[in-house]
Structure 1
Amino acid sequence: MSKVFALLPRLKADAERNLADYILHARERSTVFGRDLDFDQCVWDVTDDYSRRGHRNSKHGSVTISFRQRLQDGRRPFCDQLGEFARAYMRVEVANKSSSTYAHAIAAFRALDTVMVERCVSSLAELDATLFDRASEMIRSNSSRRENPAAGYMLGQIARFLDKKAFVYAPLHNWRYPRASRITNGRIGPEFERRRAKNMPPKECLDGLAQAFNLASDDRDVLITSIAAIMCSAPERINEVMVLPVNCEIEQTDSDGRTYLGLRWSGSKGAADHIKWILPGMAEVVRKALDRIRKITEPARAMARWYEEHPRKLFLPPELAHLRNQSVLTLDEVSKILNLSPGKRAARGWINRNRVPLASVVPEIPLAGHSHVQAVRFEDIEAHVVATVPQGFPIYDERRRMRYSEALLVIAEGLFGNRNETEGSHCMFETVKYHHIGCSLGQNKRSGSTTVFQRVGIDPDGKLAMRSHQFRHWLNTLAQSESLSQLDIAKWSGRTTLQHNSAYDHVSSEDIVARIRTAVGDHGKAIGPLAEIPKNLPVTRSQFAAMIVPTAHVTPYGFCIHDFTTTPCERFRQCLDCQDHVCLKGLADKTSRVAQALEDARESLSKAFRAVADGVFGADDWVAIHKATVKRLDELLNILTDTDVSDGAVVQLNSIKAYSLSDGALSDALSIRETGAEL
């Protein structure tokens, strides 16, 4: 019987050979993440690499790269050839990029792995454009916002890399991630309410934090509530709070004679270091919070200063300094140094876990029935504890060259653990970590952690929970609702671009309607017909405002206050020609659209002029129409960009004579009556 040989296309064979050479190079020749890296493992621990680069994440726990599916997908490792390529790509192409790029690349590889399993594709060389299209759909389906442009961008980079290196035999033709239609982030409906509830802190939690700030007595609760107070004063990121220096305040007297408090802030995500000025109403709260934090953390900074000066000697507080002269320590003395629970059991457990050798000594005062007692040599305890100083010591923040002894949030090791009386270790320090704050606020409530609300006794049922990033959303929304300029919001939040403001804007349509209503009849807040109120009204001002502004919905240029329960749109969505349309000064994206509309109108006017010159019939009418449009938009843009007009001002232009549905209906009715026809 003749044998059957499967014919392999030469292009595919070449692609697989190229791919194998690339993986071999990454496995055996690349030294990124260390020469001793176990290349074939599904999870890489890259904490040491992060530490060498001075990355802050290395100070708050281990950092790993996982080449497998997510937890909800069973933690299944990537299929063989994709897994090898993913590890090679991460080691050679992505290693020197930002940490966020790691996560985006893994998200792209997860989508590719799902597609390869779904379509039964065994070889990476068989990937084509249709499979990458399917992977892009996977990325969207796995994103809570129905779009993940960062992971999609990485997917496109991977596709172009495979094509450029000839790792696939079917050309991908410079494949790029097909962006979905832009999410408008509307202000009404269940989707808006869901997004608002997710990102905004519950009012009950904010009230609870205020109570907890005054009720807290344990060090960890005082620390958490004080950190929360600082985060309520300015829209910062949690990683920026972690690197505040101990002397972070700056006070400045302004021209009005008032003294203002500011904090020296470390910028992130491309923003430079800057000073954040605290609102006067929060200044005393922030001063009190900083004093509380320093009181708790100063002993830990004292430990850090000791280890800077005595890198090989164990730190001991004054009340335990006499133990330094002893060659051996009893278990009770070990418990005091480490501040473990009373008794020998905790000390013996610590010694066994850390493999510190035990010694048997004869006590100076014989104990009944015991000729020898268990003890530990002081030098063994000293060597072990000194070796546990944080990675990178004495430098805490590489970018700012800030030492642990200069950091605000340095604490005794184990303060948030189960040590005796929650005071932490007496001989070693650590820093406040993300999960310390997250668990205390209820971010990981499902895991059974106890919140600060529960510990101070205001939430016995454990119903209160929030996330640290919600402070930033809340303060940004407050700034938006008070009509702070987009530039000021971006600077206050430490952003490099104004476009990111919109993701933190959760002002509802009801809030906007209320803002417009307050401007009715107020020349300081409104420009145009809304600023005028007829005399001798038979209703109150608020009732009149409710009738004039029954509702408001978003338009590309502002907000429409037309009552659609009475008539449909009368201007065929020509918003900028309608008196029922209002604009709010200070909304950068809407102002830019008005400017674009003016540019388009000017282009249309120039075309109309050319048509008149060419003798086109009816072109004169278009010239008149476009002239009026250009004039109207120019006036509107001048108001929206006038520095003398305060941000938040409601701008309503006067009505113009233009065809509307009501005018058409009235004209038709008159025409029918003139002819005598029945209506």
Structure 2
Amino acid sequence: MIDPVLLRALNAVAPDLRPDAGALELLLPDGTGFADDEWELGSWHGTVARPRKETLSFGKIAHPEMRDAAKVIILERRRKRGIGPVSARHYLAAARALGDVLGARPLSGLTSGDVHRAEAKLLVKSDKYLSALATMAGELRRLYGIAVDYKAPKTAAVRHGTRGTDEGRSAKLIPDAVLMDLLALLPREDIPDDDRLLLSAIALNLGCGWRVSELATLPADCLFRDEGQLYVRGYPGKGGKIAPKLVAPALAPMVEEAVATILRLTGPGRAIAKAWPLAADPDWRTVLRDDTAILYFARKLLHRWGSDPDNRLINPDAAWSRNHGWVDVLGALESYPNVNRAAAASGLNWETFDALRKQQLASREGRIWTPRPKSVKGWMLDARVCDRHNLFRMMGFHSGYRHHSPAIRSLVAEALEFQLSGEVIPPPPFDAEIEARHAREKPVLLSDRTGTPLLYVEDALFVMPRFLIGAHATKTDDWQRLTPEHIMQWLGGTTGRASVFERYGIIDPRSGKIATFTSHQIRHWLETNLHKGGLTDAQIAALMNRRSTAGNSVYNQMTNAERREKVREGIHEGVIGGLVAGVVTRADVTREEAEDILDSRLRQVNVMPHGFCLKDLATEPCPHHMSCFSTAAGTAGGGTAACSHLLVDRTDPDQIAALRRENANARAMVEMFEDDPELGDSPQVAHFRTIADTTASFLPEADP
């Protein structure tokens, strides 16, 4: 049965656009109802192995209608775009600001001015919320019919990518020298395993360009060959195309060696993950998020500790010495004629032997004896006693200091009282519900939107023994996955450990200072080199697992000089056309003159959807009002009317597709005018006929 609160919320949506209530209800986080104002989004992570707690608090939205609308929109975006916790939090912040601006007015009274006032409130926090505000405004208009119009402003000039500056592009691009110095560390035998693991991860990603979250979820068998070419398969994020990544042949040996090193270092982690579900202990990570479960399982551990004979405080069979362990001094006295001989045989001096004799005699009488009285704090220092630090170490945590509650301290003291009386703290009454809730299951690293497992931890490439990264000791009976935070802290450093660049003295040749870069800049480095290598936008988008080519431009950090050289090559090869390109084929122009003309005209190359513009738009506006295919200059000589600043790469499928769209639209307009006798004399007919003819001149001969 569908939640009535959800049905009531959907009644406000336009009937023809109303999402299916059942589909939205299935998308609710585990254990959450639509009416709940606290949504735990841990299950929305694609990576599900031991997720962080992600709570979405809709109670922060004071406006009731806006609160319901925000829930509907977030679920709808989850259904259509697969958004995760971060995007959901941004939508909630935007909805909260809109609700505050609305005040006591109904949702239907929202205006564009209100949205701009919400923008001002959000800008106080950060400009990162503005795109979410634009999405919320668009969804409120689409689903609820609210007449609002808002477009997120550009809060900063583009600094890198095809529309950026050389300075911005240089700052975004990793110098080859830095990468070479970093990779040169791999053959060294004196680097620790965690450095070697993360260096190998960098080497692998230089050939693939995965997002760091995608890199962390590669399967162990990610490499395969097809017709001699090396590919890396994985699970792309952000709704990208599911396609294996082709590794450039020159980088293939490095990638294969990196994966072999990673498999060797992470093999023990996969073995632990495979055996992990078979252990009798619960999943301590989930236990520590449940205060009731902590006390339940802590009592079980204390019972286990006290039941161990080596942890007895009253032991009639032997006496305990911190330096010598258990010693049967009374047995030694029975074997030797006097105390001195017995002490010598036990490796003890007379004073220590006598103290242990008194201890063992007291134990046979069922009581505690010590050379001097001990407080509870003093007993907690005894190796046979489980203090709260030892308790959480048994759970697999360094000390568990965050969970040292009064209830835990009281429980540990209770266990000590039982030990002091020669007994063992009893286990808790069996609770099937708690046992089932925290039972270990085969851990899933990655799942799809329906919760179906895509990759188990034991089959992942980057699963390690716990504490492998950045620690001196390794716990061998638990595992951890590689996270983006591990790589970020390794590259950037932490309070207790310098960055990899600082520790090995890697210098950025541009500044002479210690190098720095982020994991995401590797994608920029690889994509820039793919552009330099001559791949088309369509090919690069496929290799980078993008849904479209639109995202390529911000990753292309080629300088203006490099871009000019690529355009020059295209002109000489005859694949780039335009008025400037025609200069190299003119009979009245020598080769030297043609090169001089190209040098003067190729000083600025702006990338557009349908070609390249050689006009420096930063110093003066476009003289043709962006009408590249219908200019007065072009019609005088009877030829096509393309702008003299325009060049078109006939080998670029995206530019050709854009030209086909322009051509089709222009022909459609001409047909419309010709079919209406009253419009036959309109100057628009000649205008669109010119555009149709001009765009056709750049298209392949097979095109109309």
Alignment partners' CA distance in 2, 1:545 and 1:229: 39
Q: Structure 1 residue aligned with 2:460, among 392, 407, 413?
A: 407
**Correspondence for 1:638:** 700
Among residues 92, 110, 114, which one is paired with 1:128 in the alignment? 110
Q: Give the 5 Å matches for 1:301-340.
A: 301-308=270-277, 310-312=278-280
Secondary structure at the counterpart of residue 225 of structure 2: strand
Deviations 1:510-549 (A, max 9, x none): 4322222334544477785254376995959865641453
Question: 1:92-135 CA deviation, whole Å, 9 max, x = no partner?
Answer: 95797576354334323323444665x59368779633564235
Deviations 1:286-321 (A, max 9, x none): 11101111111112222233335x43289xxxxxxx
Partner of 1:206: 179
Given candidates 184, 196, 216, the residue that maps to 1:242 is 216
Contact residue 575 and residue 581 of structure 1 kept, 8 A = yes
Specify the alignment match of 1:668 in structure 2.
none
Q: Is the 8 A contact 1:520 1:545 kept in 2?
A: no
Residue equivalent to 1:251 = 225
Find the aligned partners of 2:73 and 2:604 in 1 and give their Cα distance.
56
Residue identity matched to 2:542: K
Does the CA contact (< 8 Å) of 2:162 and 2:558 recur in 1?
no
Q: Does 1:438 align with 2:488?
A: yes
Write the distance in 2 (CA, Å) between the matches of 1:567 and 1:412: 60
SS at match of 2:476: coil
Q: What SS class does the counterpart of residue 234 from structure 1 fall into? A: coil
SS of 1:427 mapped into structure 2: strand
Pairing 1:59–2:46 present: no
Structure 2 runs not aligned, ≥5 long: 1-7, 13-24, 283-297, 314-319, 328-345, 360-381, 398-434, 630-640
Q: For 1:100, give the aligned amino acid.
A: I
The equivalent of 1:575 in structure 2 is 628
How far 1:491 moved relative to its partner?
1.5
Partners of 1:571 and 1:95 in 2: how far apart? 40
How far residue 430 of structure 1 moved from its aligned partner, in angstroms, is: 1.3
Go from structure 1 to structure 2 and tell me whether the alpha carbon gap of 1:200 and 1:569 turns closer, same or farther (over 3 Å shift). Answer: closer
Q: How far is 1:552 from its partner?
A: 3.1
Letter of the 1:407 counterpart? A
Single out whichever of 286-295 and 588-597 deviates more from structure 2.
Answer: 588-597
Contact kept? 1:412, 1:430, Cα under 8 Å: yes
Distance 1:641 1:475 in 2: 34
**1:404 touches 1:410 (CA, 8 Å); kept in 2?**
yes
Q: 2:543 aligns with which of 478, 492, 513?
A: 492
Counterpart-to-counterpart distance in 2, 1:154 and 1:78: 16
> Are residues 1:179 and 2:188 paired?
no
Deviation of residue 469 (structure 1)?
Answer: 2.0
* Aligned partner letter, 1:178: Y
Cα drift, residue 410 of structure 1: 1.1
Deviation of the 1:87 alpha carbon = 11
Counterpart selection for 1:427 from 477, 485, 491: 477
1:247-326 matched pairs, under 5 angstroms: 247-253=221-227, 259-271=228-240, 273-308=242-277, 310-312=278-280
Contact 1:585/1:640 (8 A) holds in 2: no
Match of 2:635 in 1: none
In 1, the alpha carbon distance for the partners of 2:678 and 2:26 equals: 70
Tell me, yes or no, if the aligned pair for 1:82 and 1:113 is still in contact at 8 Å. Answer: no
8 Å CA contact 1:250–1:261 kept in 2: the answer is yes
Question: Contact conserved, 2:66 with 2:107, CA < 8 A, in 1?
Answer: no
Q: 1:278 to 1:121 in 2, by over 3 A?
A: same
Distance apart, 1:251 and its partner CA = 1.8
Residue 432 (structure 2) pairs with residue 470 (structure 1): no
Matches of 1:501 and 1:263 in 2, distance apart?
21
The residue that corresponds to 1:323 in the other structure is none
**Aligned to 2:700, what secondary structure does the other structure show?**
helix
| Among 490, 497, 500, the residue aligned to 1:452 | 500
Distance in 1 (alpha carbons) for counterparts of 2:163 and 2:154 = 18
CA distance in 2, matches of 1:273, 1:571: 42
Distance 1:525 1:92 in 2: 46
Query: Does the 8 Å contact 1:140/1:148 carry over to 2?
Result: yes
Whether the 8 Å CA contact 1:226–1:293 is kept in 2: the answer is yes
Cα distance change, pair 132–525 in 1 and its aligned pair in 2 (3 A): closer
SS of match in other structure, 1:59: coil
Question: Which one-letter code corresponds to 1:433 in the other structure?
Answer: T
* Structure 1 residues 455 and 113: alpha-carbon distance in aligned structure 2, compared to 1, 3 A threshold: same
* Equivalent in the alignment of 1:647: none
Secondary structure at 2:517 match in 1: coil
List per-residue Cα deviations over 1:199-242 (Å, max 9, x = no partner).
54455643443334444721111111111111110222222222
Q: Figure out how many residues of one structure are paired with residues of the other and give that number.
A: 542
On the 8 A contact 2:528/2:558 being kept in 1, the answer is: yes
Match of 2:89 among 95, 102, 106: 106
TM-score (norm. length: structure 2): 0.61
For 1:455, what is the secondary structure of its paired residue?
Answer: helix
Aligned-partner Cα distance in 2 for 1:632–1:36: 59
The secondary structure found in structure 2 opposite 1:274 is coil
Q: Percent of aligned positions with the same letter in both sequences?
A: 17
2:442 is equivalent to residue 393 of structure 1? yes
Q: CA deviation at 1:633?
A: 2.1
- Residue 221 of structure 1 aligns with an amino acid whose one-letter code is D
- CA deviation after TM superposition for structure 1 residue 441, in Å: 1.6
Matched, 1:551 2:604: yes
SS at 1:429 equivalent: strand
Kindly indicate whether the alpha-carbon contact (under 8 Å) linking 1:522 and 1:532 is maintained by their aligned counterparts in 2: no
**Distance in 2 between residues matched to 1:597 and 1:79, nearest whole Å:** 46
Equivalent residue letter for 1:403: Y
Following TM superposition, by how much is the alpha carbon of 1:411 offset from its aligned partner in structure 2, in angstroms?
0.7
Name the CA distance, whole Å, in 1 between partners of 2:484 and 2:92: 27
SS at match of 2:90: helix
Secondary structure, in 3 states, of the residue corresponding to 2:184?
A: helix
Paired AA for residue 210 in structure 1: L
Q: How far apart are the structure 2 equivalents of 1:570 and 1:80?
A: 51
What is the letter of the counterpart of residue 548 of structure 2? T
Higher relative contact order (CA 8 A, sep 6+): 2
Partner amino acid for 2:523? Answer: R
- The DSSP-based 3-state class of the residue aligned with 1:178 is coil
1:115–1:267 Cα change, 3 Å: closer
Which moved further from structure 2: 179-188 or 354-363? 179-188
Could you say what secondary structure the match of 1:551 adopts?
A: coil
Give the secondary-structure state (helix, strand or coil) at the position aligned to 1:634: helix
User: Is the 8 Å Cα contact of residues 162 and 557 (structure 2) preserved in structure 1?
Assistant: no
Task: Give the distance between the partners of 1:90 and 1:266, measured in 2 at CA.
Answer: 28
Superposition CA RMSD, Å: 5.4
**Runs of 5+ consecutive residues of structure 1 not aligned to the other structure:** 1-17, 23-28, 69-76, 164-172, 254-258, 315-350, 643-679
User: Counterpart amino acid of 2:484?
Assistant: Y
State the 1:437 CA deviation: 0.9
Give the Cα–Cα distance (whole angstroms) in 2 for the partners of residues 287 and 99 of structure 1.
Answer: 33
* C-alpha distance in 2 between matches for 1:517 and 1:149: 38
Q: Is the 8 A contact 1:410 1:429 kept in 2?
A: yes
Q: CA deviation at 1:610?
A: 6.1
Cα pair 2:95 2:136 within 8 Å, conserved: no
2:564 to 507, 513, 527: 513
Q: Which of 297, 318, 326 lines up with 1:364 in the alignment?
A: 326
What corresponds to 1:333 in structure 2? none
> Which position in structure 2 is the counterpart of 1:374?
383
- Cα offsets for 1:457-509 (capped at 9, x unmatched): 43699843322222223322333344422322221111233333344344444
Match of 2:203 in 1: 229
SS state of the match for residue 307, structure 1? helix
Shift of 1:428: 1.8
Q: C-alpha deviations, 1:430-472, integer Å up to 9, x for none?
A: 1111211111122xx5867522222334369984332222222
> In structure 1, what residue type is equivalent to 2:568?
R
Aligned residue type for 2:217: V
Rg: which structure is higher?
A: 2
